[in-house]
Amino acid sequence: MANLKEIRNRITSIGSTMQITKAMKMVSAAKLKKAQDAITAMRPYSSKLTQLLQSLSATLDSDAGGSFSTQREVNKVLLVVITSNRGLCGGFNSSIVKETLKTIKENYADKTVELLTIGKKGNDILSKTYKVIDNKSDVYDDLTFDNVAKVAEKLMELYVDESYDKIEVIYNQFKNAATQIPQVEQFLPIKPVEGDVTTNTDYIFEPSKEEIVLALIPKSLKTQLYKSVRDSFASEHGARMTAMHKATDNATELRDDLLLTYNKARQAAITNEILEIVGGAEALNN
């Protein structure tokens, strides 16, 4: 009977776990819908802003972007690593950590690399190996454009004062609830336009192209970082919803196996008791 009691306790424990994973799945599904709508609505704006900036820059001198376009010899690199503050989201955080280590090993093995983290999970792991100059996990407390823009402004300042020669952003791009794609994007310096870009439309610019470009660059960089954080945020909830769904399925399968084992053990115990009673009755008759 002790064995049966142990199995019953395990079944009860797994049932409690299933309730938790189901609840977390439902919460993540609700948050995912809002986060997915936000990133889907933002992508066309971000893409059009970048396209407009490139079209204008292509018609100007190579230094039109000012200090943000200055190409320097790369000796010191800053990687902005975007993860989550919480776990239980499958391989969401580990994939970014692996991508960060891969980027450092393959591209910057002989360079000085430092990190700025957005998310506690990435900071906890990477800070053991690399220097983290700042952790902006509080961005998720109130995920707005203004809060992320402050981080982007800091990155721009670090590049302009030549603290770093190159800044890249590493994050998970949201594709769907089951798929997140690790991305490494150059933040600064601004990439020069590849190939010849021509515009057939003749526009009148007020004030001037140069002034418009210089005003658009900070706006574009802030939007780029905000899009990356939003992508990561949606990916996190998609990954957590998928992970909790799988956890619930696994718990259900394990519970069913334990119920079958419990019923078999209970039937065996009942059969043994019947045999003992029959055996005792025969002994009395003899």
pLDDT at 198: 52
Helix (H, G, I), strand (E, B) or coil at 181: strand
pLDDT at 1: 47
How large is the average pLDDT for residues 99-108? 94
pLDDT at 58: 59
- Window from 21-30, 64-73, 143-152 with minimum mean pLDDT: 64-73
pLDDT at 278: 80
Q: Quick one: pLDDT band at residue 202, thresholds 50, 70, 90?
A: low
How large is the average pLDDT for residues 36-46? 87
Q: Are 135 and 126 in contact (CB under 8 A)?
A: no
Mean per-residue pLDDT over the chain, rounded:
86
Is 89 annotated as catalytic? Answer: yes
Q: What percent of the chain has pLDDT over 70?
A: 89
Q: Which has the closest alpha carbon to 118: 157, 81, 162? A: 81
User: Domains (ranges, CATH) in the chain?
Assistant: 21-194+201-243 (3.40.1380.10)
**Is residue 221 scored above 70 in pLDDT?**
yes
Q: Are 96 and 171 in contact (CB under 8 A)?
A: yes
Catalytic residue among 81, 89, 132, 229: 89
How large is the average pLDDT for residues 112-128? 94
Residue with tokens 């192209």: 209
Give the integer Cα–Cα distance in Å for 230 and 148. 10
How large is the average pLDDT for residues 50-78? 72
Q: Give the tokens for residue 247.
A: 């956890």
How large is the average pLDDT for residues 108-137? 94
What would the pLDDT profile of 125-148 be if each residue is shown by its tens digit? 999 999 999 999 999 999 999 999
Q: Which has the closest alpha carbon to 229: 138, 129, 159? A: 138
In sequence order, the 6+-apart residues with CB closer than 8 A to the CB of 117 are 80, 81, 82, 83, 123, 126, 127, 132, 134, 135, 136, 137
Q: Which has the closest alpha carbon to 193: 74, 23, 100, 58? A: 58
What would the pLDDT profile of 229-251 be if each residue is shown by its tens digit? 999 999 999 999 999 999 999 99
Residue 234 β-bridge partners: none
How large is the average pLDDT for residues 210-227? 85
**Is residue 195 scored above 90 in pLDDT?**
no
pLDDT at 66: 60
Q: Which has the closest alpha carbon to 91: 27, 180, 29, 175? A: 180
In sequence order, the 6+-apart residues with CB closer than 8 A to the CB of 149 are 222, 225, 226
DSSP 194: P
Q: Outline where the chain has alpha helix (H).
A: 2-58, 92-107, 120-126, 145-160, 209-285
**Is residue 183 scored above 50 in pLDDT?**
yes
- Window from 58-62, 110-114, 231-235, 254-258 with minimum mean pLDDT: 58-62
Pairing of strands 112-118, 179-188: unpaired
pLDDT at 80: 97
More confident: 226 or 49: 226
Give the integer Cα–Cα distance in Å for 166 and 10. 54
